[in-house]
Chains A and B, each alone.
Chain A
């Protein structure tokens, strides 16, 4: 006697297997994800042709830079950075801050910051990058605000398959000051 339940069970098993394959299949862009290198505050991190140390992070109600001043919700990040292999086209132009589901690019408003600065091989530059956030974005307890900032640094505007250096800063550790200086770019140690 033909076991009529066999095709039904086999069909259900195939459907379950198909669901399983779909569930474990990586996302379409997963093959192009950047290579993330951890860059804790105070520690030098190295990626493709880029070395960088985050030396300080603080939130501020106002920022000043070379005579320029702006009020708002700011995060200022002090960095030291250099190229490690070659100088041609080597600019610190991928600088982002992720907070919750939003990603912010470093501000172009400060006249003299490390954002977009050309990097020398073996001669580190020091300066700051600054992020201008929506009002209240950093408020503790705000809906959807996670407990950390995620900073990312790289050389290419397109970070696919490139290395990015990532610094995580718990919001509890974030110093809040009234006014912060965006340090003008200079040689590190000078």
Chain B
């Protein structure tokens, strides 16, 4: 009885030279080698550019007691005054009430800004909005102030555990929006 040997799918006459598959597919392999990195590169650059447009504006740190010129207007220096909390104020009796004043000297054009916010630079780095509505006070902002010098006056109600030093962030409305970070002390 003779032994039947199976040769699998390789039949005589169809044996291929080593490396034949690589040669036959050389064009596709080169294309793959180019297209795979290109795909990653294009996706990465698209994501990076999208991310860049969403990036937050880095605040401009203004030195203590200094003014800063931006968009033709001179801003600062910011000063702070601690006000006594009385029964007239509808706020907790252990809260701190402070009032921040930022002088503004406009140039030829009316300046634009959003209401300032107060930040803890130490501790938990919390942020407070101005409390004009809460206190029922009239506060001044950039809106419709014309080109004459004026002061932005903003009260803030802080919890007793708020830790200075504090800074005020003032977001400016201009062709190139910016945030001024003005120190106001403890």
Residues of A within 8 A of B (CB): 84-88, 120-123, 187, 189-190
Q: Are B126 and A120 in contact (CB under 8 A)?
A: no
B72 at the binding interface (Cβ < 8 Å): no
CB < 8 Å: which of B93, B126, B129, B134 contacts A122?
Answer: B126
Q: Are A122 and B127 in contact (CB under 8 A)?
A: no
Which interface residue of B124, B126, B134 has the most chain A CB atoms within 10 A?
A: B126
Please measure, in the bound complex, the distance between the C-alpha atom of A88 and the C-alpha atom of B93, giving whole angstroms: 23
A7 to chain B, nearest CB (A): 18
CB neighbours (8 Å) of B134 from chain A are: 120
Query: How many A-B residue pairs lie within 8 Å, measured between CB atoms?
Result: 38
Please measure, in the bound complex, the distance between the C-alpha atom of A83 and the C-alpha atom of B124, giving whole angstroms: 12
Looking at chain B's contact residues, the main secondary structure is loop
CB < 8 Å: which of B91, B92, B93, B159 contacts A121?
Answer: B159
Please measure, in the bound complex, the distance between the C-alpha atom of A21 and the C-alpha atom of B126, giving whole angstroms: 46
Which interface residue of B95, B128, B162 has the most chain A CB atoms within 10 A?
A: B128
| B-side interface residues, number (CB < 8 Å) | 16
CB neighbours (8 Å) of B162 from chain A are: 122
Looking at chain A's contact residues, the main secondary structure is loop
Q: Are A85 and B127 in contact (CB under 8 A)?
A: yes
Please measure, in the bound complex, the distance between the C-alpha atom of A190 and the C-alpha atom of B93, giving whole angstroms: 9
CB neighbours (8 Å) of A121 from chain B are: 126-128, 159
Nearest residue, chain B, Cβ from A86 = B127
A145 to chain B, nearest CB (A): 41
Nearest residue, chain B, Cβ from A121 = B126
B89 to chain A, nearest CB (A): 11
Question: Given A121-B159, A123-B92, A187-B91 in contact, is the A84-B127 Cβ separation under 8 Å?
Answer: no
Q: Are A85 and B95 in contact (CB under 8 A)?
A: no
Question: Given A84-B126, A86-B127, A88-B127 in contact, is the A122-B91 Cβ separation under 8 Å?
Answer: no
CB < 8 Å: which of B124, B157, B161 contacts A85?
Answer: B124
